[in-house]
Every structure is written in structure tokens, then in C-alpha cells.
Structure 1
Amino acid sequence: MNMKTLLSLICVLMGLLTLSSYAHAEERITLGRTILLENGKHGADIPLLVCRRVNAIKVKADRDAYLRKVKVTFKNGETKTISFYRNIKEDDTTDWRKFAYKRCVKKLEVFGESKNSSAGIRVYGRQ
């Protein structure tokens, strides 16, 4: 084997090692986004086009908001309501709220109010 081939092989292997460690390190995925209004009496729906398998969720607010709860609907039709009842500051996140095991999420409904006219909300899932 000549030097050029050996160097190419080493570069490819290093690239694969870097890629595989990155895939394991990034376990957070965005399940969906919605907007909470100032006088939000109804939940803000986030329908998922594809079922996403996760074992926990986390919520992030783009602006100051009061988050009451998130209702999660799974592929089999079961629902789970996760209560938060807390203020979330701009660009702040909640802690991870775990499920008993990895579940296939089909829909999310976020309940809360914005402190201003509206607040963007992102829901993340952990794989």
C-alpha cells in the first residue's frame, strides 16, 4: 500500500469517527413550534407530520411566557398531560420531563400565556 492510499484511508476513518461521536452527542430534536398569545385560553396545537420516538420533552420560550401544561398525544391514541405551571424567561428552557420509555409522539398541545403580545414556544424531544 502506498503512502497516498494510507493517508486517504486514515482521513476517511477519522471523518467517520468524528461523525459517529457527533450523532451520539446530539440527542435533542425539535418536535415542533407554536405561538402563545397574551390571553391564551385554548391550547396551541403542534401536529407532527411524522411520528417521533422520544423518551422526554423540554420546552423553550423565545419570549417571556407562563407555561401551564403540555398535552402529548401518542401514536396509539393515548395522551399524557405534563404540568409545568411556571414562568419561563426569554430564551430559557424547562427541565426534561421523562416518559416511562421511548414513545411515538403524534401531536402536542401547549397551554399558557405570553407576557407580551405573543411568545414563540419550541418543544424538544430527547431520543
Structure 2
Amino acid sequence: MDSEVDHYVVLGLPSNEEGAKLCDRDITKAYKKKAIELHPDKRPHDLNAHQNFQKLMTSYEVLKDEESRKLFDEHLRVKRQKHNEGIATICAIFSNKETPNCMKFQPGSFFSYHLYDSPFIGRAQKT
């Protein structure tokens, strides 16, 4: 399974909890609509038409098979969870709260000292 491809997005469907609740009929309907739009015969001058259509067919195969779809939904859930944990870590690093195993960073303290409290500010002499 290609970890970078969101099969729901390829079919033009929502890629969240709402997408996971879609029935087979909704997935098939979305596939047929996209298949007409992306078919290589409809796009003779598009060099990527065959590749895009193949990607569409692969996404449909994953989502129409119940077991494959469950695995893909679990993959998306884990991916979102890791993404949210990463954001929480970044927020903790840049917040004013003490966080274990994270360096406390306050950009204001660095800039205020080096730009405003520096002994060299205001000392230039006119020549």
C-alpha cells in the first residue's frame, strides 16, 4: 500500500471519519464519476492520463474490498494520530510552559536582548 496516496481523495471523497462511514454504493458512484473524467480516451493529450487512471483504479480496488479498506482506514487513523502528536510537541516546544525533554524557546527574549538591550545600539558616532 502506498503510504502517500489517500484513496478517498483520489476518488474525490472526504478523507476523515466521514469518509470511513461511506457505503459501497457511494464509493462506486464516486469511482464511476471520476473514471469518466479521467479516462485516457477523454484526455488524449495528457501524458499522465494513463497513470492517473491507474491510480484511480487502484484506489477503487482498495476501498471496495472490505478488508483492504479496514486496513487503509487504520493506516489513516495512525497517520493522523502521529501528525497530531507532532503538532502537540511543536506547540509544547514553542509555548511558555515547561515541558519535559523539550527545550524552552522564547523568541522574544533573544530578539529583545540582541536588538534593543544590546550595548551597541545607539552608540554610533557621526563622522
- TM > 0.5 fold call: no
Task: From the CA coordinates, give the structure whose radius of gyration is larger.
Answer: 2
The TM-score, its normalising length taken from structure 1, stands at: 0.25
TM-score (norm 2): 0.25
Q: Which has the higher contact order (CA 8 A, sep 6+)?
A: 1
Q: Greater strand percent: which structure?
A: 1
Bigger share in helix: 2
